[in-house]
Chains A and B, each alone.
Chain A
Amino acid sequence: MFYLMLGFCVVWVCHFAYLTVIDRQARQLRRRLDARVNAASDRA
């Protein structure tokens, strides 16, 4: 039972960790894009 739980925890943690990393990168990208758009519109 313990091993089963351990196994499933490993699987879900790995998947969610990767998804979190991707999500964080996506947010950062969006933030930088917005900053750039704002900068461009300020200059214009």
Chain B
Amino acid sequence: MRRLLLALAILLLIVSTWIGLTQGQIDPLQRNILYVHVPNSVCALLCFVVVLVASVGYLATAGQTWDLVATAAAEAGFVFATILNATGMIFSRAEWNVWWTPSPRLVTSAILWFLYAVYLILQVSLPGAQRRAARLCAVFCIIAFLDVPLVYLSARFIPDIHRPNFSFDSAWQTAALMLGMTGTALLAGGLIWLRTSLLRDSLRLEQELLR
């Protein structure tokens, strides 16, 4: 079932890229990176929300699964944030000839990446009971989440180098982008699902071996 989901997601991604590049090609060729950049950015933020919900859930109920979902979502989100920053830098180099500049959107993306990295390091390096480590990571996530939107939301209303002035000309382009978003969202869901069950099984194995 999960593999089916992942296969569907990858199929959608390939289709969206195909449509984007053939029917709905954006004029300067390098702008086509947007077809992967935008969905990945949405997914990186989405995964962050998932980690937050899972963290709050863990603090509220102390159920192990919440912690596993949080870790899985953080890993997936880390991959998406890496892609977000990398494609963003490539796009910025292609468009404006600089690899990076401290504009609000770009800074927020970098901060998002760092937040994921620190969360994952915390998950790995806090010793002691599993429960304690999970609780601390949840606390970190909550504070991190309160940290970022303040800057991010206000960045939407300020002129910024990040927003190039383009709009979608044809329905094909919109279709390609929407397909890409759906595909990436499905990919995120599938990855999180797969990773959670993997974590749960490995945890169960550890417990069995200790018995």
Contact = CB atoms under 8 A, between A and B. Distances in A.
User: Are A and B interaction partners?
Assistant: yes
B79 A18 contact: yes
Contacts of A8: 17, 33, 36
A14 B30 contact: no
Contacts of A33: 201, 205
Contacts of A14: 79, 82-83, 86
A4 interface: yes
Nearest to B80: A14
Q: Which 6 A-B pairs have the closest CB atoms?
A: A3-B94, A7-B33, A3-B30, A7-B90, A10-B86, A18-B79
A26 B3 CA distance: 13
B30 A26 contact: no
Contacts of A11: 36, 40, 83, 87
A18 B209 contact: no
A10 B90 contact: yes
Contacts of A36: 205, 208-209
Interface stretch (B52-60, B136-144, B162-170, B187-195): B187-195
Contacts of B86: 7, 10, 14
A26 B90 contact: no
A39 to B, nearest CB: 10
B36 A3 contact: no
A11 B78 CA distance: 13
Contacts of A1: 29-30
Contacts of A10: 83, 86-87, 90
A3 B93 contact: yes
Interface in A1-38: 1, 3-4, 6-8, 10-11, 14-15, 18-19, 22, 25-26, 29, 32-33, 36
